[in-house]
Amino acid sequence: MLEQLERLPADPILGLAAAARADDNPDKVDLTLGIYMNEEGVCPVFRAVTEAQAALAAEEVSKAYLPPEGVAGFNTGMQELVLSADHPALVDGRVSSVQAPGGCGGLRIGAEIIHAASPGARVWVSDPTWPVHLPLLGSVGLSFETYRYYEPASHGVNFDGMVEDLRQARSGDVVLLHGCCHNPCGADLSLAQWQVIAEMAEAQGFMPFVDIAYQGLGDGLEQDAAGLRLLAARLPEMIVAASCSKNMGLYRERTGATIFIGRTRDNAEALVSQALVAARRVYSMPPAHGALIAGRILGDAALGESWRSELVDMCGRINGLRTSLREKLEAASGRDFAFIEKEKGMFSFLGLSAEQAIRLREEHSVYMLNSSRINVAGVNARNIDYLASAVAKVL
């Protein structure tokens, strides 16, 4: 039976990252994977994570399963981090959540709930979007429509096109939105544009499903969640998938949550009951380590202050890299790269063709996706001049 299965190609992003690791060129530049790297090219461990982990190791006396909904302090902390402690939906008791294996698990549980509520629901996704959105949601059985989002000519949001397309979304449809730091383009909605989407959702009856995987890496924890919070204050229901992979560096711990805003307190509790049944058939029980660490950080004033301070520094470094990269590319090529400085988070399209991206790999050992999407956090003081020179040579 099994011998008839054929070898499948590697994931495009993971395959490129593997090729970069295998490249023996000492000047190679890997801008593929969406992982934060510091100046030394290392994905760092937050000081608060180290302290929380040490305390956990000293105190932990059991490896029994967590409750199905996960760590209580983590769930509460994530609700307040994403929405703010005084958000009207939280004050009204209309918010519930379950811990999930990373942001991917949060998305999958959200998809399971959507399918249970409305198997024929259409999910509107941005063009482009994170490629894994489609298998995560589509494997449940949901169907997709796309809305225009990124405009290559302006390197910004095609908001008129987005609105025109979403005029076709109807009651019972779901609109998947990136909460901040859009992956892969880095072009984010303004608060005024979030307001327009909220008004459309009210009038047309579609439900937002917000993926917020990079809170704190754009303009700051509060600013990055402003659009999501606006939706949650105005609309009767929505779903949020949140992740601690990026803003706490807990990539390998798979720490995330699905947050539900229901129409009533009873509705919010019903949604959790549905989520627990879905989780039981997908992954059974949630992983403990990352959520116990994140819960400590979110619930402890000193740890929380340390984490927020380090996250501010990380965000500042990314934004500083954007400025430096713009200046280096413009100096090397004589072309306009101002858009890089206007974008948010770790990602940007450089505006190169697939042929130019391939030449960068083959001739200069500079690795980026064929779309020219780069991870800005992969840039550092040691490689930025080489990167700018290489890009200029293929333009």
Write down the catalytic residue from 28, 246, 328, 344: 246
393 is catalytic: no
Tokens of 173: 């449809």
Amino acid found at 334:
G
188 is catalytic: no
Tokens of 125: 């996704």
Write down the catalytic residue from 30, 173, 188, 211: 211
Distance between CA atoms of 203 and 122, rounded to whole angstroms?
A: 17
Write down the catalytic residue from 130, 173, 194, 328: 130
Name all contacts of 114-118 with Cβ < 8 Å and 24+ positions apart: 114/140, 114/142, 114/174, 114/209, 114/239, 115/140, 115/141, 115/142, 116/274, 116/278, 118/172
Q: Helices marked H in 181-300 — which ranges?
A: 191-204, 221-224, 226-234, 265-282, 289-299
246 is catalytic: yes
Torsional sign, CA 138, 139, 142, 143: positive
> At a CB cut-off of 8 Å and minimum separation 6, what does 82 contact?
212, 215, 225, 228, 240, 242, 259
Q: What are phi and psi of 317, to 5 degrees?
A: -65, -45
Catalytic residues: 130, 211, 246
